[in-house]
Amino acid sequence: MEETKETFTSIGDIARKLDMSQRTIRYYEEIGLLNSIKRVEGGRRIYTDADLRRLKLIKRLKIMGMTLSEMQELEAMWTIEKSNDKVLRRLMEILNSQLSRLDDRIADLNILRNEILEYQNRIKSKIGK
């Protein structure tokens, strides 16, 4: 009998590895972001190394500010087009937009920081009198 090289992991194990709740993983499956889930007898989910990589990517994209709907858009593009080029171009657009929003927030935070420093200086001058 030939051994398979693919390893399977339970939802509990994969949730612990990724510091992600089992409910979140099931939700990603429900909304179509994780659609290759295999099941064994009794309907128990098992996850492959490819599923683990996909979940790591989803987690990374979320950290970078991408919404689940944007991820669903990319997944739909891939399903229809089967073209990495189009998906990657759209991903770049989304990331550029996110960078622009971050730059705006950083500018706003710098303004706020300067206002706080100025206010502190005014307070210090009143305390010192």
Q: How many CA atoms lie within 13 A of 13 on its CB side?
A: 11
Alpha carbons 85 and 104: distance in angstroms, whole number: 29
pLDDT confidence of 107, banded at 50, 70, 90? very high
Residue 2 has pLDDT above 70, yes or no: no
Interval 18-28: pLDDT, tens:
999 999 999 99
- For residue 94, the SS3 value is helix
pLDDT confidence of 10, banded at 50, 70, 90? confident
Radius of gyration of the chain (CA): 23
**CATH number of the domain at 1-63, out of 3.40.50.450, 3.30.70.141, 1.10.1660.10, 3.40.50.720?**
1.10.1660.10
Q: How far is CA 2 from the centre of its chain?
A: 37
Residue 109 has pLDDT above 90, yes or no: yes
Residue 5 has pLDDT above 70, yes or no: no
* Domain spans of the chain, in order of start: 1-63, 65-129
Which strand (E) or helix (H) includes residue 47?
A: strand 45-47
